Each structure stands twice: as C-alpha cells, then as structure tokens.
Amino acid sequence: MRIKKIIVVTAKWAPLSTRILKIVHKISEKHNIEVEEREEDWMFLKKYGEKDELGGTDIPQVFLELENGDIVHVLTKLPLNEMGKVDEEKAEEIIEEKISSLL
C-alpha cells in the first residue's frame, strides 16, 4: 500500500515537538512523502491516536495516511535510551520500519 503522507500531531507547549518534526522531515525527504503538521488536533488523536488507560492522549504522535485513506499509528512520544535520554535514532528507526512494512 502506498503512503500518501506522514501526519504529526504536535503542540507548541510540548518540548519534544520540534525534535520529532526534525526526524519526520528528514524521513519525508528521503522517501519523498508529504508531511502534514497538526497543532493540538485532539479530535484526530481521539479517533486515531494511542490512548492511556484513562483515555487521554499524549503529544507528539506520528501517523501514516495511506492512499486508501487508512490512518496507521506509528509512534507516541520519543523513545528513551538506557540512560533515560531521548533517543532520536530509535525514533527514526521505528518510523522507517513502519514505512518499510507498508511498502
């Protein structure tokens, strides 16, 4: 299935939003996939996003929209390494693996 675009839900108040956007734009350039940024789109997150046990959602979240209109959740927040620091390489790897699995 072809990927139409990468959707990223962010918020100005979320410190990791700029980091995930940097990663997503790097991947989009590599694969020539459009990026759609959605600022605090809670309705989108409610419908497609990963939720906690209370039904709440976290930001940032990354999704892929397929040509047929399906939305696939890819990533919530950024993963941490063994030292508890944000692991941008692992985040990139997770997104790349999901894209590869859909091509």
Give me the pLDDT at residue 54, please. Answer: 78
Please state, in angstroms and rounded to a whole number, the distance separating the CA atoms of residues 64 and 102. 10
pTM: 0.92
Residues 12-19, mean pLDDT to the nearest whole number: 91
Percentage of the chain surpassing pLDDT 90? 81
Position 48, amino acid: Y
Residues 84-98: tens digit of each pLDDT:
999 999 999 999 999
User: Helix, strand, coil proportions of the chain in percent (round to 5)?
Assistant: 35, 30, 35
> Which range (4-13, 30-39, 54-63, 91-100) has the least confidence?
54-63
Full 3-state SS string of 26-62 = HHHHHHCCEEEEEECCHHHHHHHCCECCCCCECCCEE
Domains, in order of start, for the chain: 3-102 (3.40.30.10)
Please state, in angstroms and rounded to a whole number, the distance separating the CA atoms of residues 30 and 65. 17
